[in-house]
Structure 1
Amino acid sequence: MRLLFSYLLIGVTLAQGFMAHSALHQGFTGLYAQALVGAALTAVLAATLPFRQLPWTLFQGSVLIAGYLWLVTSILLVGRGDVEAGTVATGSLVMATSAFMWLPPRVAILLAATGYAALWLPVLGKPNVPALLAIGVVTSQLWYLSAHGRSVQKERIQNELLSQMAFTDPLTGLLNRRSAVEQLKQLTLNPQNRTGGVALVLFDIDHFKGINDRMGHHRGDEVLVAVAGCLSEGEEQVPLAARWGGEEFLVVCADSSSSGAISTAERILARVRQMTLPDFPPVTMSGGLVTLNEAVAIEELLTLADMRMYLAKARGRDQLVSRASE
């Protein structure tokens, strides 16, 4: 978007440079000064916009201010004979369009109405009533299209938020249980995932109830968010990470072999073990790993992973249990 506007500004700069050259030769000193200043301003905007030195809102404000200053000076230049009234009418529509695109509705309506009212000024000569009425209709249509576009965009954003809420956990930002089950179904349908290198792991934070009881649920939430960040921050192949419920997390580890999947899960446990939280004792997790070739149904895989997770807790916590270590 920035690059596109930069190219448009370059085109405007060249056009204004040509206009300044033509105005100078024809003796239109006012138009020459206007075009020269406009070319310099658009050249600066075109140069800075692609490299993000110029914030987008500042760019919009600069364009609108420059545009309406051009409109005012053009009205004054009509009286000198440097600019034709039709140019002002076209400029009014262009600025109304920009205002409706970038400004709050009330401000945009005020500016568009002011620009339209200026077209009736005596300095522009005898008003062409049919043409001015047509411009008024077009300006009203621009307002309607802008309002409709804002409404559609607002509805789309709301739908995206609702969709996100339906499939993600609001605290950790991970997938929720419902979404994880759907993705597990897709993973198990692929025969290539049944070769032994793809595994699902159920993790449970050790002594989490004690954390909530001693330090409060808000500190417990901090632990959940921190652990969620550890699940997929490494370079491992983790195609799925979800909050399964409470202090439980589900992770799918993908590797070329079952030993590789086990190593991925072990590295996740190590990251959790090494993380530091202010005024917190070390946090650990227990995990149960099952490769997708150990059972056919998802329910069987989850039951087996759950059994191994509790076996890890029974063996002293802070460890992973898989078929190889049962």
Structure 2
Amino acid sequence: MSMYRLQQLLLNRDSASGDKPKDSRSLATLLFRHLLLLFIWLGLWRVAVLMEYAPHASIWFPPAGLSFAAFLVMGLRALPVLMVGSILSTFWVDNMYQMQQGWQQLLYSGLMFGFAHCMSYWLGAALLRRWIGQGVSEGLPRMITGFLVLGALTSLLAALTGTQILAASGMIGMQEAGSIWLPWWIGDLAGTLVLTPLFIGLLSWRYPDIQSWLGGLNFQASNSERSGFIGKLALCASLLSLIMLLASHFPYPEVSFAVFFLIIPQMWIVCTESAFRAAISLAVFSILTAVWVASLGLMDQALVYQFAICVIAASAYFGLAVPVLMARNQMLQRLAFRDSLTGIMSRQHFFDQAGEEIRRSHRYRHPVSLLLFDIDHFKQINDQFGHACGDEVLQKAASCIEQTLRESDLFGRFGGDEFMLLLPNIDFARAVETAERLRRLLGDIRIDKLELRLSGSFGAIQLQQDETLTQALERVDSKLLQAKRAGRNRVN
């Protein structure tokens, strides 16, 4: 059969099985997503005119946040859409300002502006993905630090290259380019830092694979009560509106700095609501600030408000990291204080706590006793039945014994199959009774793989006045050795 005939048969089979309609639906879905991204980007660009002072230059530029998020989530697949958006916005600027430039010049300017904008945010997104990927174990704090640093550098690169390209294309003068790069940077920075997390959250619903590098953040919609969140959002909006109204009525520039106090209610939202709701709150705060600045004619103080937005957003993101850091500290604390296999006190933590308890007992002249015991023939258990069986023996022994102890007793793993038990307010006679009870308890433990019953050898002492833990351990270890030499499965 010829190769051409084979290809025809395969094509006919695919058409009959319905693969072609499926491909058509996938293509239509992909086209719809890209068109939606384009319309949203253009809509955000048009909204940025609220604080615009030159073509493509605004103190508040939301498209920067969408571009950064799109490159983070979609990679280079977002490039064609954002390039088209940059070109269309250039033609839109010409129509708005009646510049009367030729379409070839506008196309060139749009391509150059798109190149500067897309190159900057794609580079920042690629570096951020790499930064996060190299420090997966560090999670959210590393992601936030990288996002803030790279977000600032990326928006600065976009501002510097964008102003030079617009000047080279004749849309602005060279002198004007030197004076607007800072406001341009602040506008892109505000859009990037404040709105990128919100757009990541929205895009993550469609691209759930990015959850693996979000460092523990969950941008899924929260099912908790919405009325409380709306109330907090209304409070923040009311306080912001009050500050802006006061700034417009009193001719003192210092009044505008009161906006920095809004970090308090914003942190309240961050610490009590989900990451997605925190992102919504910052977005609302940013948009409402831009609306008030434009409507009240506060452009002279616009940079103050934009700096405030960036500072509050950065603080809020580190606020998101607090619960993660607390959980990590608790985990590290547990690893330091607890034996990883049995869950009882680690050796060092036992020494620390026992030392304090012994000093307290000596001070008040209360009796205190110490037990040291191990599992008989434990090495043979490991050799004959495997280390997994040996681990199960240690875990069950520790668990059963721990359940029978008082809250004041200190129970820890000395190492290997040896355990130590400090008994406050217990004299030697009662310590021996406790050891005998625990010895019998070990014999009642059943391990499926073991044919023999467990047994243990115990050493017991009562600490002498002014005796240290180290000295006591030497004495009780000698007692344990005597019990083993006497035939094991006994208390000495």
Q: Same fold (TM over 0.5)?
A: yes
Match of 1:112 in 2: 282
Structure 2 CA distance, aligned partners of 1:98 and 1:249?
Answer: 47
Structure 1 CA distance, aligned partners of 2:363 and 2:267?
Answer: 54
SS of residue matched to 1:288: strand
Instruction: Note the residue ranges of structure 2 that are not aligned, 5 or more in a row.
Output: 1-221, 246-261
Q: 1:294 to 1:97 in 2, by over 3 A?
A: closer
State the shift of 1:289 in Å: 0.4
Partner amino acid, structure 1, of 2:298: P
SS of residue matched to 1:251: strand
Match of 2:377 in 1: 207
1:224 to 374, 391, 394: 394
Partner amino acid, structure 1, of 2:389: R
Structure 1 CA distance, aligned partners of 2:358 and 2:274?
Answer: 50
How far does the alpha carbon of each residue in 1:257-285 deviate from its partner, in whole angstroms, 9 at most, with x for none?
32222222222223332233444443222
Match of 2:462 in 1: 291
Q: 2:345 matched to 1:175? A: yes
How far does the alpha carbon of each residue in 1:27-81 deviate from its partner, in whole angstroms, 9 at most, with x for none?
xxxxxxxxxxxxxxxxxxxxxxxxxxxxxx74356644x569x97xxx9xxxxxx
Q: 1:202 to 1:240 in 2, by over 3 A?
A: same
How far does the alpha carbon of each residue in 1:122-173 deviate from its partner, in whole angstroms, 9 at most, with x for none?
xx9x822439957665544432222233445555554454444334322222
Q: Is contact 1:99-1:108 (8 Å) kept?
A: yes
Q: 2:298 matched to 1:127? A: no
Structure 2 CA distance, aligned partners of 1:253 and 1:160?
Answer: 27
SS of residue matched to 1:293: coil
Q: 2:422 matched to 1:252? A: yes
Match of 1:301 in 2: 472
Structure 2 CA distance, aligned partners of 1:219 and 1:292?
Answer: 35
Structure-2-length-normalised TM-score: 0.41
Q: Which aligned pairs between 1:1-326 and structure 2 lie closer than 5 A?
A: 58-59=223-224, 63-64=228-229, 86=241, 100-101=270-271, 102-104=273-275, 108-109=278-279, 112-114=282-284, 116-117=286-287, 127-130=295-298, 138-151=308-321, 154-155=324-325, 157-190=327-360, 192=362, 197-236=367-406, 238-281=408-451, 282-293=453-464, 296-321=467-492
State the shift of 1:233 in Å: 1.3
Higher helix share: 2
Structure-1-length-normalised TM-score: 0.59
Q: 1:107 to 1:306 in 2, by over 3 A?
A: same
Which deviates further from its counterpart, 249-258 or 295-304? 295-304
Structure 2 CA distance, aligned partners of 1:196 and 1:111?
Answer: 59
| Same amino acid, percent of matched pairs | 24
Q: Is contact 1:188-1:194 (8 Å) kept?
A: no
How far does the alpha carbon of each residue in 1:179-199 deviate from its partner, in whole angstroms, 9 at most, with x for none?
323333333334548968421
Q: Is contact 2:361-2:367 (8 Å) kept?
A: no
How far does the alpha carbon of each residue in 1:1-39 deviate from its partner, in whole angstroms, 9 at most, with x for none?
xxxxxxxxxxxxxxxxxxxxxxxxxxxxxxxxxxxxxxx
Instruction: Note the residue ranges of structure 1 that are not aligned, 5 or more in a row.
Output: 1-56, 76-82, 322-326
Q: Is contact 1:172-1:225 (8 Å) kept?
A: yes
Partner amino acid, structure 2, of 1:224: L
Structure 1 CA distance, aligned partners of 2:296 and 2:459?
Answer: 81
Match of 2:75 in 1: none
Structure 2 CA distance, aligned partners of 1:164 and 1:97?
Answer: 29
Partner amino acid, structure 2, of 1:216: G
